């Protein structure tokens, strides 16, 4: 579809397109058609200053506007200069993992046209006069863009080009041709109004995990305008209690879910006046469950990370240059100077033995990082990729502690390496851009690679099991040395390449097992199902996952041997 075809399609569905500048791709950088070399919104800002005052859906005018260039496309939001209320729309964008979880919980049962920008989802809903009188709100990583009366607000829309090279596109089954633009659910409007009132009164906003003592008593009943936030806060506390009693994996058990529901339903009847309906309460309970599972899992990962020792190194390997070499990063010196390469301020740019690939799996956009010398590619969500701390933690975990990025040195710390930094010496010999920009503009990028369910399942199994070649080789070496091993899963000690039997709190069961003089890859279906849903969301049944595992050549076996006791899916790897 051409850009003009996309523009006319938007207008035919009652939307009001607006011209945006577009990114220009050079061999070594990306610029904006606006001509500003310091532009911070490449391909995202409107052409001219009067764009909001000339909203139109007339085909002839739109053809003239897009006749000069393939401008990017924006859609005007809210009541902006003549757009009637019954045709005004809002955009809800999740820009973080937390925001995605909140959006799924609040809006999962209310499908509407949805598109992706390569890192986030944009959901279009009808504007309502009951919305808070602001242009936008952000709650727990979820951005609500209303436009508002007279507020000139727009969102980049398909088929625009993102500055990374990705294309804005409608998600499968959720284009304007597939679905009408839905009305914003009443419980979401109430939630937004509560959060707006809370923010203007100086109170905290978002899905707080405050303890139950903040919940009102029967002496002070909670009326409309405060019920949603109060019940959500209480639900968060109840899920934390359930976690302490049953662990992270127990939060999906039906009896635990039923218990939390009963507690929350009782609080609703006792304290709210009038009580929320059962349907509204179910939305709150589901929203809280998804949010708290992500929150608690993050807390566990951070706690586990604190127990993993840093990679030991010799004294001469603690230098800044040794750190870069170990992590497959190099520095390209400025040829105008003959200075020592150990002076980072005299470096023109980063060069990495890495490349990235953008992968679309269903409705989710991921980034796959390939590092020379690392056996398996590292796959993470776009939101994780752009955040230096989370990105460094994921790389450390996926490389079994071999690559440690988040260290601080006298010239550069990891955040500066990843994001770049201002440099007063730029005109002389400094640099400002970071490694992330180098990867997104120069490295090999492949957009929208479609993967089947079996491919997704295979990726998760590989991620859970660990580096196959290293594990099997280490096990063979231990046999030659006549070391005695337990009959458990083969795994490496954190930060080393030595086999270990140490167990961490969330140690996976899926992995490589010695059994009957053979190495088998064993898969626990319940563990795989939970990992799939935490990585890709719902929409896939256990039966479909079962069939995907079977299609990969795994056989269902019942064993009675130590670490693989019970019912497993097994696949022979090597004969010892």
pLDDT of 125 higher than 90 = yes
> Can you tell me the distance from the alpha carbon of 395 to that of 369, in angstroms, rounded to the nearest whole number?
9
- Give tens-digit pLDDT for 287-325: 888 888 888 888 887 776 665 555 544 444 556 667 677
66 found inside a domain? yes
pLDDT of 537 higher than 80 = no
> Can you tell me the distance from the alpha carbon of 174 to that of 285, in angstroms, rounded to the nearest whole number?
26
Number of domains in the chain: 4
Q: Do 94 and 213 sit in the same domain of this protein? A: no
Instruction: Answer for the pair 409, 434: CB distance below 8 angstroms, yes or no.
Output: no
Q: Do 442 and 483 sit in the same domain of this protein? A: no
Region 324-336 average pLDDT? 61
Lowest mean pLDDT among 51-60, 83-92, 354-363: 354-363
Region 273-297 average pLDDT? 85
Domain stop point among 307, 330, 353 = 307
CA quadruple 488, 489, 490, 492: dihedral, nearest 10: -110
193 found inside a domain? no
pLDDT of 209 higher than 70 = no
Q: Do 295 and 172 sit in the same domain of this protein? A: no
Residues contacting 332, CB < 8 A, separation 6+? 347, 348, 349, 350, 351
356 found inside a domain? yes
Domain stop point among 450, 473, 502 = 450
Q: Do 288 and 343 sit in the same domain of this protein? A: no
Q: Do 553 and 432 sit in the same domain of this protein? A: no
- Give tens-digit pLDDT for 354-382: 777 777 665 667 788 888 777 778 888 87
Q: Do 290 and 392 sit in the same domain of this protein? A: no
pLDDT of 124 higher than 90 = yes
Q: Do 395 and 504 sit in the same domain of this protein? A: no
Q: Do 144 and 30 sit in the same domain of this protein? A: yes
Work out the angle at residue 567's Cα, subtended by the Cα atoms of residues 566 and 570, and round it to the nearest 5 degrees: 115
> Can you tell me the distance from the alpha carbon of 367 to that of 118, in angstroms, rounded to the nearest whole number?
9
Measuring CA to CA, which residue among 466, 547, 527, 532 is closest to residue 499?
466
533 found inside a domain? yes
* pLDDT number for residue 113: 94
* pLDDT number for residue 190: 84
Q: Do 163 and 215 sit in the same domain of this protein? A: no
pLDDT of 210 higher than 70 = no
Domain stop point among 450, 481, 514 = 450
Higher pLDDT, 166 or 434: 166
Residue with tokens 């950088």: 29
> Can you tell me the distance from the alpha carbon of 34 to that of 38, in angstroms, rounded to the nearest whole number?
10
- The secondary structure of residue 376, as a DSSP letter, is S
Banded model confidence at residue 495, pLDDT cuts 50, 70, 90: low
Banded model confidence at residue 339, pLDDT cuts 50, 70, 90: very low
199 found inside a domain? no
190 found inside a domain? no
Q: Do 458 and 439 sit in the same domain of this protein? A: no
Copy the structure tokens of residue 145. 């863009």
pLDDT of 504 higher than 60 = no
Q: Give the residue numbers spanning the domain of 332.
A: 315-450
What does pLDDT average to over the chain?
Answer: 77
191 found inside a domain? no
200 found inside a domain? no
pLDDT of 552 higher than 70 = yes
**How many Cα neighbours within 13 Å face the side chain of 151?**
17
Q: Do 34 and 168 sit in the same domain of this protein? A: yes
pTM of the model: 0.46
Q: Do 276 and 356 sit in the same domain of this protein? A: no
């Amino acid at each position: 579809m051409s850009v003009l075809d996309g523009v006319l399609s938007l207008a035919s569905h009652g939307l009001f397109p607006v011209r945006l500048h577009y990114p220009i791709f050079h061999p070594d950088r990306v610029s904006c058609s606006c001509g500003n070399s310091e532009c911070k919104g490449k391909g995202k800002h409107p052409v001219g200053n009067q764009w909001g005052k000339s909203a139109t859906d007339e085909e002839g005018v739109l053809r003239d506007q897009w006749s000069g260039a393939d401008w990017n496309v924006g859609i005007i939001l809210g009541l902006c200069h003549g757009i009637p209320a019954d045709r005004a729309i809002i955009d809800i964008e999740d820009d973080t993992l937390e925001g995605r979880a909140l959006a799924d919980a609040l809006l999962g049962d209310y499908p509407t046209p949805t598109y992706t920008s390569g890192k986030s989802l944009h959901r279009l809903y009808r504007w309502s006069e009951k919305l808070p009188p602001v242009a936008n709100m952000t709650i727990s990583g979820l951005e609500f863009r209303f436009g508002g009366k007279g507020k000139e607000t727009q969102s980049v829309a398909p088929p625009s080009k993102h500055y990374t090279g990705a294309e804005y596109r409608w998600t499968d089954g959720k284009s304007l041709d597939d679905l009408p633009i839905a009305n914003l659910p009443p419980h979401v409007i109430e939630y937004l109004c509560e959060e707006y009132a809370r923010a203007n009164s100086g109170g905290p906003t978002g899905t707080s995990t405050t303890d139950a003592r903040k919940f009102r008593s029967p002496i002070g009943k909670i009326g409309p305008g405060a019920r949603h936030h109060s019940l959500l806060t209480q639900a968060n506390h109840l899920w934390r209690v359930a976690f302490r009693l049953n662990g992270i994996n127990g939060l999906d058990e039906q009896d635990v879910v039923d218990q939390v529901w009963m507690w929350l339903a009782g609080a609703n009847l006792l304290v709210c006046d009038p009580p929320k309906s059962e349907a509204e309460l179910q939305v709150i309970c589901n929203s809280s469950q998804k949010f708290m599972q992500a929150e608690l899992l993050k807390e566990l990962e951070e706690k586990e990370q604190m127990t993993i020792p840093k990679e030991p190194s010799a004294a001469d390997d603690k230098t800044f240059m040794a750190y870069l070499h170990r992590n497959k990063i190099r520095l390209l010196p400025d040829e105008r100077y003959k200075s020592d390469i150990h002076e980072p301020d005299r470096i023109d740019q980063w060069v990495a033995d890495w490349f990235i690939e953008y992968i679309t799996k269903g409705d989710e956009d991921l980034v796959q990082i390939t590092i020379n010398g690392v056996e398996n590619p590292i796959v993470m969500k776009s939101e994780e990729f752009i955040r230096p701390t989370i990105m460094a933690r994921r790389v450390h975990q996926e490389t079994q502690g071999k690559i440690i990025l988040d260290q601080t040195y006298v010239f550069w710390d990891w955040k500066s390496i990843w994001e770049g930094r201002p440099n007063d010496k730029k005109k002389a010999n400094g640099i400002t851009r970071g490694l992330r920009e180098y990867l997104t503009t120069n490295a090999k990028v492949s957009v929208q690679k479609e993967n089947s369910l079996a491919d997704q399942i295979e990726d998760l199994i590989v991620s859970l099991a660990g580096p196959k070649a290293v594990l099997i080789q280490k096990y063979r070496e231990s046999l030659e040395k006549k070391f005695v091993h337990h009959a458990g899963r083969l795994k490496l000690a954190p930060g080393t390449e030595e086999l270990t039997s140490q167990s961490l709190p969330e140690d996976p069961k899926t992995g490589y097992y010695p059994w009957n003089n053979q190495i088998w890859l064993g898969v626990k279906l319940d563990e795989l199902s939970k990992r799939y849903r935490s990585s890709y969301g719902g929409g896939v049944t256990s039966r479909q996952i079962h069939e995907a595992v079977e299609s990969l050549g795994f056989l269902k076996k019942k064993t009675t041997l130590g670490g693989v006791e019970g019912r497993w899916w097994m696949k022979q790897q090597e004969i010892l």
